[in-house]
Amino acid sequence: MTLKNWCAVLVISAGAVSSAIAQSDFPPSANSKQEAPRLVEVMSMAQLQHLKLWHAGKAGNWDLAAYELRQLTNSLAEAAIFYPAIPISNVTTMKEPLLSIADAIAAGDNRKFAVSMRGLTDGCNACHASMGRGFIAISVPTGGQPPANQIFSPSGSGRKK
C-alpha cells in the first residue's frame, strides 16, 4: 500500500466516525472494545513517530521516513476511530500535510520534507488548541541529535534517492 493510500485511510476512517462535539475527558467510543488505548497513549506514540519521522527524513533515510509516516498515519486514524469526540474536521485537515510529506518522501526532497513537516506540526497544534489543549504544543525537532537508541542514517540496503 502506498503512502498516499495510507493517508487516504486516515481520512476515510475519520469519515466513518461521528463528529460529536469535543468533551473535556474524551471517553472512548461505545463501539470500542475495552482494549482501546487511552488517547494519551495514542498521542504519545504519535509524538514519538513525528520525532522519528523528522530524523529519518533529515538523514535522508526515505525508507524509514515512509515507515514512520505510515505509523503516524495509523496512530491518527486510531485516535479518530476510538475517540469520536474529536471533530472530524480536525482529522480531515491532516490529509494535506500527510500527503505533502508522502510526496516529499517519494521524491527524496529534503526541502519539501522540512516544509511539509512544519505544516503537519502546525496542524497538530491547531487540533490541540481547538480541543482546549493548546498547552500541548509540539515543534519540529531542533538540534542535530536524534534519539540515542536508533540509527537514522540509511543502511544502504533500501532504495536510493
In a domain, 104, yes or no: yes
In a domain, 155, yes or no: no
Of residues 112, 146, 123, the one with CA closest to residue 72: 123
| pLDDT higher than 70, residue 126 | yes
Quick check: 54 and 117 in contact, CB under 8 A?
yes
Q: At 34, list the grid cell.
A: 475495552
Predicted confidence (pLDDT) per residue in 147-156, tens digit: 777 788 888 6
pLDDT score of 115: 97
In a domain, 135, yes or no: no
Q: What is the pLDDT confidence band of residue 8, given thresholds at 50, 70 and 90?
A: low
Question: What's the domain count of the chain?
Answer: 1
**Surface-to-core class of residue 31, CB atoms within 10 Å of its CB (0-12 exposed, 13-18 middle, 19+ buried):** exposed
pLDDT score of 16: 39
pLDDT score of 113: 98
In a domain, 107, yes or no: yes
pLDDT score of 27: 65
Predicted confidence (pLDDT) per residue in 75-125, tens digit: 999 998 999 888 888 888 899 999 999 999 999 999 999 999 999 999 999
Q: What is the mean pLDDT of the chain?
A: 81
| pLDDT higher than 80, residue 72 | yes
In a domain, 86, yes or no: yes
In a domain, 161, yes or no: no
- Answer whether 0.95 is exceeded by the pTM: no
Q: At 103, list the grid cell.
A: 510526496
Per DSSP, the residues of 103-123 read HHHHHT-HHHHHHHHHHHHHH
In a domain, 82, yes or no: yes
In a domain, 157, yes or no: no
Predicted confidence (pLDDT) per residue in 55-68, tens digit: 999 999 999 999 99
| Amino acid at position 67, single letter | Y
Question: 114 is in which domain, residue-wise?
Answer: 3-9+38-130
